[in-house]
Structure 1
Amino acid sequence: MQKKWITGLMGGLLAATVLSGCDEGEIILQGKRENPRAILDSTESTEVVLPENAALPVSLPAIRQNADWTQGPGTPATRINHAALSPTPTLAWAVNIGQGDSRRGRITANPVVADGRVFTLDSQALVAATSTAGAPLWSTDLVPAYDSGKDASGGGLAYAEGTLYVSSGFGLLTALDAATGAQKWQQKLNATGSGTPTVFGDLVYLVAGDSTGWAIERSTGRVRWQIDATPDINNVMGAPAPAVTEQFALFAFGSGEVQASFREGGLRRWDALLTGKRAGFARAEISDITGDPVIAGDAVYVGTNSGRLIALDLESGARIWTAEQSAQSAPWVAGNDVFSINDSNELVRLNATTGDRIWNIKLPFFTKTRPSKQREIFGHYGPVLAGGRLLVASSDGALRSYDPVSGALLAETNLPAGATTAPVVAGNTVYVVSTKGQLLALR
């Protein structure tokens, strides 16, 4: 009886509690009722609308008759700001320089031109010299003993005063006699050496694969000094070439870090971190700096793979502006404009002072083999200013030239097998390496 009484008592209390709760009125929130699912049915576009392309006047440097192209455009002292070139160059000759691109190896070294020779590096560490008439002169294999050419890939080239400096994926920086290909010295980097070297004064500067910046004596190959950055494994093959002035050497690393050191002694002056990424692209997770730092006046222009192009103050490293673009190769600075190829395969013109976009032109993106499937995204290399036009070499098999004022396509020339390097211009000739391992000359 006691158990039944307790059970009944508990039931009564519960019922009383429920009835008591029902006595409280529902709280009505003030305001207009909205359907939370309405946004899913909306047909209104959420895409950010960019301003229309503008054909603003451009101030280009004077055209220069240059016989040589010794290294990249980042360093003002050796940069060819505006090379001479005919409006419609056509293929003059093609010569094999070694192994082309494959699943295990890539050509990453832009050719350099000096003393009537064109120097190249294939995907398996073979250095070749070719005359400007297309005749093979010499070749030197830089694969170490007990290694195979397929074991590593990548590297870069720079030339100065009769010596060719070659970095390779085998972790070596090698100095070769430019006339014969004979080795002068070799320095181990203790990591992959796929970064492109820069020569200035009595030193060679480069970034090794472990995020270390090196300064190496040109005459002996001895290490003068080193600097370190935050390690990062999510890198694009081939580190950017350092940019150098009389005072500073600027290094760009895979972590998105830019460091400026005093050129002679290596004391760090400043460092900057390039942050931010383009939403909606998985490749934007790779924050590597793919647009080599370029010094122009008192500013440094540098771009990342993840969708940012940034201007920094050369003296302090302070950020001047940030554009939601990128630079897949070294940006090209001309007058008050910066030209680059971004991560969406667009040729872009920005105001160098403010970073404002002036125009962007879509480049071929990918081959469509099935609906909504991207089989292969095309690579575009450049731009390079020559003959009053912007040159872009592409893996889809074309060398295109664009109007710097409006971005309009002016000419298109066939490149057999497509490009795998940026074009360089010397002696009124465009030189570019194809994916099949051929040096192409267009005049």
Structure 2
Amino acid sequence: MKYCSKLTTTLFKTLRLLFLSAFLGAVFTSCDWMGKDPAPPLPGERISVMAYESGLKSDPALKDVVIEIPKAEINQEWSQIGGNAYNLMPPLELPQSLELDWSRSIGSGSSSSERLIVDPIVAKGRIYTMDTSYVVSCFDFETGSLIWDVDVSESDWTGISLGGGISFENDIVFVTTAIGDVVALNFESGQEIWRTSLHYPTRAAPTVSDGKVFVLTLNNTLEALDGKTGEKIWSHAGATEIAGILGSASPAVRDGIVVVPYSSGEIVGLRAETGEVLWSDNLVSLRQTEGLKGLAHIRAHPVIDDQQVYAISHSGRMVALNLETGERLWEQEIGGISAPAVAGDFLFVVSSQGDLICLEKITGKIKWVKVLSDFIPVPEHEADEKPTKPQIHWIGPLLTQDLLLVTGSNHETLQISPQTGDLIGVIHSGEKVLIPPIIANKTLIFVTDNGYIKVLR
């Protein structure tokens, strides 16, 4: 076994406990994958208590500003965890009415000791997944037929599966694991091309750009590898932070600059060729918070749009930075663990408090705020009981031509108007989904928590 230590086990247990604290909650049951009209809301204006307390409210200056969403595009691939190396996808074409086309098991799902957190990718007419046993599977995009699968773990590995991911470039599938290995596979056969041990568990999927593979490890070190050989080119060490949210963000790369999000709250701009530090910032919240809420971990992938970087930390700071200089253009006291969606002059983000927020991307001013739990009906209860709603973990948003898709752990994906924030419809999954869905070729793809891939068209 290449890597196994008491420190690793302790770190895994710490992250597992933090993850369970963040995502435990009751879950609704649902019946199918079809979208349907939402239940009529209760009368009255909806105001987010949490947003109100944090000062989040619409800016009057944007009251008459119309949100225009660019024309949707058809993407044939979703080759990296954020769609591409800079984690920015345009509005994507997707039918508003969807039906389940096919479903397949990808292997082992989440359990009491394992968490399935690896996002699927789409490339070359195939869907690639990885389960909690580090089995990478390749499915035909149209039919769902299994083309190949391969176990990329070490044969004597007995640790807990709490990380890793997959990416694609130049006909190679790149895989990271919590064992600390980076593996390159032939996309057609799954045959191993090379393997490099980093001797430390990896947090998330690799980011691949211009023949280089960028991998973030559990000890906050970014490793740059040669995509053809797996040889190490350079590395950068961030501040050490043991506690964090399960998983992590992948770096973003554009115009020769790597933007690295660390679990300490650091965000650093590096030159992709050499690892030279260009700038750095810190997204630790100014508020004094304790426990899980106080973790400064940047769990959401930074997004690069032209020359601006948008990043958000878990503890409550969202910023826009200049890509080349790191100059802070604006900031908001918003925390979250999902990357924002950017379109036109606006961006959309889900906060840790369960609000969906629309901001003007140049100024950071808030156009509207919606409370996602307000879209969920109150469960049936006895007359003498106080009505309560389950705690729901929200991921997204994913932007289509006319809808924001926000997926909840309650088996539902909300279809929301980007112009107004109003609920348009609901897609029922029937199963818990904690991994962000993706879109490719007008197809919506889910990976469920119990280890199934669901393809809707």
TM-score normalised by structure 1 residue count:
0.84
1:101-140 equivalences in 2 (<5 Å): 101-132=110-141, 133-140=143-150
Deviation at 1:379, TM superposition (A): 2.1
Deviation at 1:207, TM superposition (A): 0.8
Say whether residues 1:51 and 2:57 are aligned partners.
yes
More strand by percentage: 1
Query: CA separation in 2, counterparts of 1:400 and 1:281?
Result: 31
Native 8 Å contact 2:180 2:197 kept in 1: yes
Which residue among 333, 337, 349 is the counterpart of 2:346? 337
Bigger relative contact order (CA 8 A; separation at least 6): 2
Question: Unaligned 5+ residue runs, structure 2?
Answer: 1-51
Native 8 Å contact 2:87 2:301 kept in 1: no
Query: CA separation in 1, counterparts of 2:380 and 2:237?
Result: 44
Deviation at 1:73, TM superposition (A): 3.4
Deviation at 1:277, TM superposition (A): 5.4
1:20 alignment partner in structure 2: none
Say whether residues 1:243 and 2:252 are aligned partners.
yes
Alpha-carbon distance change, 282 to 362 in structure 1, aligned in 2, over 3 angstroms? farther
Deviations 1:340-382 (A, max 9, x none): 1110012111111111111122224999899899997322221
Deviations 1:278-310 (A, max 9, x none): 666742211100121111122110111112211
Alpha-carbon distance change, 341 to 77 in structure 1, aligned in 2, over 3 angstroms? closer
Find the residue that maps to 2:302 and give its secondary structure. strand
Native 8 Å contact 1:252 1:289 kept in 2: yes
Say whether residues 1:405 and 2:419 are aligned partners.
yes
Query: CA separation in 2, counterparts of 1:168 and 1:136?
Result: 22
Residue identity opposite 1:51 in structure 2: K
Alpha-carbon distance change, 183 to 415 in structure 1, aligned in 2, over 3 angstroms? same
Native 8 Å contact 2:137 2:148 kept in 1: yes
Higher-Rg member (1/2)? 1
Native 8 Å contact 2:85 2:208 kept in 1: no
Query: CA separation in 2, counterparts of 1:263 and 1:400?
Result: 38
RMSD (Å), alpha carbons: 2.6
Find the residue that maps to 1:399 and give its secondary structure. strand
Native 8 Å contact 1:196 1:238 kept in 2: no
Alpha-carbon distance change, 139 to 55 in structure 1, aligned in 2, over 3 angstroms? farther
Deviations 1:17-69 (A, max 9, x none): xxxxxxxxxxxxxxxxxxxxxxxxxxxxx956653585842232321111111
Query: CA separation in 2, counterparts of 1:55 and 1:98?
Result: 50
Alpha-carbon distance change, 141 to 273 in structure 1, aligned in 2, over 3 angstroms? same
Query: CA separation in 2, counterparts of 1:49 and 1:270?
Result: 30
1:430 alignment partner in structure 2: 444
Find the residue that maps to 2:410 and give its secondary structure. coil
Deviation at 1:319, TM superposition (A): 1.3
Native 8 Å contact 2:106 2:129 kept in 1: yes
Query: CA separation in 2, counterparts of 1:87 and 1:182?
Result: 38
2:433 alignment partner in structure 1: 419
Find the residue that maps to 1:284 and give its secondary structure. helix
Deviation at 1:79, TM superposition (A): 4.1
Deviations 1:292-346 (A, max 9, x none): 1111122110111112211111111121111111232111111111111110012
Say whether residues 1:378 and 2:392 are aligned partners.
yes
Find the residue that maps to 1:290 and give its secondary structure. coil
Say whether residues 1:348 and 2:354 are aligned partners.
no
Query: CA separation in 2, counterparts of 1:134 and 1:278?
Result: 48
Residue identity opposite 2:320 in structure 1: A
Alpha-carbon distance change, 76 to 195 in structure 1, aligned in 2, over 3 angstroms? closer
Size of the aligned set, in residue pairs, is 397
Question: Unaligned 5+ residue runs, structure 1?
Answer: 1-45
Alpha-carbon distance change, 50 to 177 in structure 1, aligned in 2, over 3 angstroms? closer
Alpha-carbon distance change, 373 to 247 in structure 1, aligned in 2, over 3 angstroms? farther
TM-score normalised by structure 2 residue count:
0.81
Query: CA separation in 2, counterparts of 1:398 and 1:281?
Result: 31
Which residue among 388, 396, 405 is the counterpart of 2:402? 388
> Identical aligned pairs, as a percentage?
26
Q: Which moved more, 1:168-177 or 1:280-289?
A: 280-289
1:217-228 equivalences in 2 (<5 Å): 217-228=226-237
Deviation at 1:117, TM superposition (A): 0.8
Query: CA separation in 1, counterparts of 2:429 and 2:82?
Result: 23
Find the residue that maps to 2:299 and give its secondary structure. strand
